Amino acid sequence: MALQLGDTAPDFSQDSTEGVINFHEWLGDSWAILFSHPKDFTPVCTTELGEVARLKPEFDKRNTKAIGLSVDPIEDHHAWKGDIEETQGCGLNFPLLADADRSVSEKYGMIHPNANDTLTVRSVFVIDPKKKVRLTLTYPASAGRNFQEILRVLDSLQLTDNEKVATPVNWRQGDDVIIVPSLSNEEAAKLFPQGWDEKKPYLRMTRLNK
């Protein structure tokens, strides 16, 4: 059965470009972005890994670790690193799992046989410090991912974990948010003294005073 939101992310031990990763131990009290690639030395993957490397300061600000994966051997990963730095202008600065035995891929359902029965698709898992799966995304091999969107959803998850709000369509950090419908107006007034714009009883927009 495929991993679902709220499931505990499977633990694993697997070799990587930074040595053997014991996943839950490596994660510690951080969030994680675990994302898979179809194959080393492929163009779309090369651009994605360069982008994630460039975004490391943004992930760091969000207490988030990035970790990639493909089913190629560790020797290929190390050889590929030079191409990534040369073409993308940023060297690999996070671990890339060498899942040659497909043990991690199978635990996470990263191989979709009707797309390709041996290579991983572009899976994304956001995992919180409690080791729970909070977001899943699946892209085809031909389409590169939008990591700005992944950062946006990470911001939403971290905000809504701490505030009684939800984030509306196309929300970005600093935009108005929605007071969750489960709060009565009396309860909301205590939490949001700045007030809100009530478009409907279930749609109350407010701006957090942060």
Distances, alpha carbon 21 to alpha carbons 29, 89, 135, in Å:
15, 26, 22
CB 111 within 8 A of CB 102: yes
Question: Active site residue: 45, 66, 119, 126, which one?
Answer: 45
- Rounded CA-CA distance 55/205 in Å is 31
Return the closest-CA partner of residue 36 out of 140, 130, 155: 140
Long-range CB contacts (within 8 A, 24+) of 156-160 = 157/126, 157/128, 158/31, 158/62
Measured over the CA atoms of residue 168, residue 137, residue 42 and residue 77, the dihedral's sign is: positive
For the question of residue 45 being annotated catalytic, the response is yes
The catalytic residue positions are: 45
